[in-house]
Structure 1
Amino acid sequence: MSFAKLGLLPFIIGDANVKTDWVYVDNLVLALILASMGLLDDIPMTGGHPVAAGQPYFISDVRDKEIDYFFHRISNSFEFLRPLLRSLDYDLPTASLTVTHALILGKIFQAIYTLLYPWLNRWWLPQPFILPAEVYKVGVTHYFSFLKAKQELGYVPMVTPREGMAATISYWQDRKRKMLDGPTIYAWLFCVIGMGTLSVQLTYQIQDQCRSSELSVFSSSVRCG
């Protein structure tokens, strides 16, 4: 979101058919509570064995009847975030970048920030633009069934994708009203380059005026002599 605010979200990564599963925080908390309850050994019909002990579970915001809507209409992370970005009046990515090219770019940033490791916690060092892990996160399909969590833990999403997105949009709009957005990175660059150019020009003008004054004083001295 910080990159979108600065106007640094110029492209989407990966194929348009890539599917990414998002989980709203309320559903995540529900799953954690159910999993913690599944660690108890006094649950009926489990034979005294904690059903969730050592078991991995996948969860989702999508209920059974909404799988078709979610899986086919929402193509990837960028499409999922499009309503949120549009509601905040942030620029939407128009170009696309293949996973291969994005990985190359991510590895370049990874190498640069590896060299900058001693200064990673300094305030003046920005976060890397992209890293390989983020490329795999948004450029590769991540979609799993929560059937196991439903059968063993009783997990059923409390919040649907539509409801979760509506709540997320409301949160970010309220946050934007309370916090003034700064200019995009392009405006910053324009100001920095413009001010730098203006400073150089003023410096040259001052130097020229000083030289002219020195020549005038020298000419006056010669005449008096």
Structure 2
Amino acid sequence: MRETDKEVHVITGGGGYPGFCLGKQLIHDGHLVRLLDIREPTTDLLDGMEFIKGDIRKLEDVNKAFTDSSIVYHMASFGMSGRDQLNKKLIDEINIGGTENVIKACYENNIKRLVFTSTYNVVYGGEEIINGDESLPYLSDHKFTDQYSKTKREAEEKVLDVNNTVTSDGHTRLYTCALRLAGVYGPGEQRHIPRIVSYIEQGLTVVIYGAKESKVDFLHVDNLVQGHILAGQALSKHKNQKVAGQVYFLSDGKPINNFEFFRPLFEDLGYTYPKIRLPFNVIFYMAFLIEIIHSIVGRFYNFQPLLTRTEVYKTGITHYFSINKASEELGYKPTVQNDLSQVVKYYQKIGRVKQPKSSKTLKYYFVNLIIFFIIFSIIMSFLPTATGPYMR
């Protein structure tokens, strides 16, 4: 096949870990790949890859990336975790405004297929869900505890609303679908796991919380890539657009306790797995307090909160979803299930193992002081209240 005959696949957010992994597989499958991102990839481009530095908040940047392309994987977003989750203005601009620009650029460039990367959080807001499916309704506005999840719901709705609509040339039709992802992991993941490893190294992960039997889903990057490619293929004309207008949950298909999942990161990097388990509500309200403090001082000192409320209920309350629809309609079949071995090897290779006589940080003592007062408060709440002539 000549280079000019190959399809151009565009990935917004292609400089990030999931997007770049998807791009590598698309190159392997014989396509040309165009990565659009405001940040450059951390690894070298492959032959057939093009990187365009651009901002999805700017329509001209999006149009430049979409020129002469066949399919778009819209993976760019902002505010998924940590302090980014508290920047509501930027979240709105990127997740809603950016998605509107992606849709406009699809119309203007007569794109035929658009796969939107969504999240569990469009239907999950802290209430237990066991083996949920795609029939669950969207979460209502008042149940969201973070702006990211709310804007992802709005963006997903916008993408699905334009399914099977005619583009600017008057005859090309745009077909869309959405993939709702569990927490993504893999060797080299840049968002969640580095933060967890950093907390482990600093001695900040000395407790766990929530019910011991609680379970959540995870998604290995290989499975993420497989799901996106299958969705893109199924949107094509020769597949009769079977998935057009549909949503699909993607995970490893093997729910597990959040803290048990990360146990190898503790033990194989030389650290002690936490033995203290605190009630869920204690940690949730502590996270709420941290968010309040951040809202006051964040404009002067944008510190990284240990946890946000959304992160607490995503890790401490049972919620997992069936992948049957993705399996039946996309042919999705996870090839990796809850396997952190590659991640552990990655951190061992770069020397992130416990060093002897490692020094304790100020954060370590601060967090332990907070934990002491939490445990003390819990104990005191169970003691009888003193009464008598001198007690008022």
Question: The TM-score by the shorter chain falls in which range?
Answer: 0.5 to 0.7
Name which structure has the greater RCO, CA cutoff 8 Å, separation 6+: 1
Distance 2:352 2:311 in 1: 29
Identity %: 36
Residue 184 of structure 1 is matched in structure 2 by: 360
Cα pair 1:8 1:185 within 8 Å, conserved: no
Residue 35 of structure 1 is matched in structure 2 by: 231
Residue 51 of structure 1 is matched in structure 2 by: 242
Q: Which has the higher strand share?
A: 2
Distance 1:141 1:108 in 2: 23
What TM-score does the superposition give when structure 1 sets the normalisation length?
0.67
Distance 2:235 2:300 in 1: 42
Please give the root-mean-square deviation of Cα atoms over the aligned residues, in Å.
2.6
Q: Which has the higher helix share?
A: 1
Q: CA deviation at 1:141?
A: 1.0
Residues 1:15 and 2:211 aligned together:
yes
What TM-score does the superposition give when structure 2 sets the normalisation length?
0.40
Residue 345 of structure 2 is matched in structure 1 by: 170
Cα pair 1:9 1:91 within 8 Å, conserved: no
Distance 2:353 2:273 in 1: 23
SS state at 1:4 partner: helix
One-letter code aligned to 2:321: F
**Structure 1, 172-181 or 99-108: larger mean CA deviation:** 172-181
Provide Cα deviations, 1:56-76, integer angstroms capped at 9, x if missing partner.
2112224xxxxxxx55xx4x1
Q: CA deviation at 1:84?
A: 2.0
Residue 145 of structure 1 is matched in structure 2 by: 322
Q: CA deviation at 1:180?
A: 7.8
Q: Which has the larger radius of gyration?
A: 1
Residue 91 of structure 1 is matched in structure 2 by: 272
SS state at 1:106 partner: helix
Cα pair 1:86 1:92 within 8 Å, conserved: yes
* Cα 1:179/1:100, change in 2 over 3 Å: closer
Provide Cα deviations, 1:13-37, integer angstroms capped at 9, x if missing partner.
2000100111111111111111122
Give the alignment of 1:106-121 within 5 angstroms: 106-119=287-300, 121=302
The count of corresponding residues between Structure 1 and Structure 2 is 169
Distance 2:349 2:267 in 1: 15
Cα pair 2:202 2:364 within 8 Å, conserved: no
Cα pair 2:287 2:307 within 8 Å, conserved: yes
Residues 1:5 and 2:196 aligned together:
no
One-letter code aligned to 2:221: V
* Cα 1:95/1:179, change in 2 over 3 Å: closer
* Cα 1:85/1:152, change in 2 over 3 Å: same
Q: Structure 2: 5+ residue runs without aligned partners?
A: 1-195, 366-392
Distance 1:12 1:41 in 2: 49
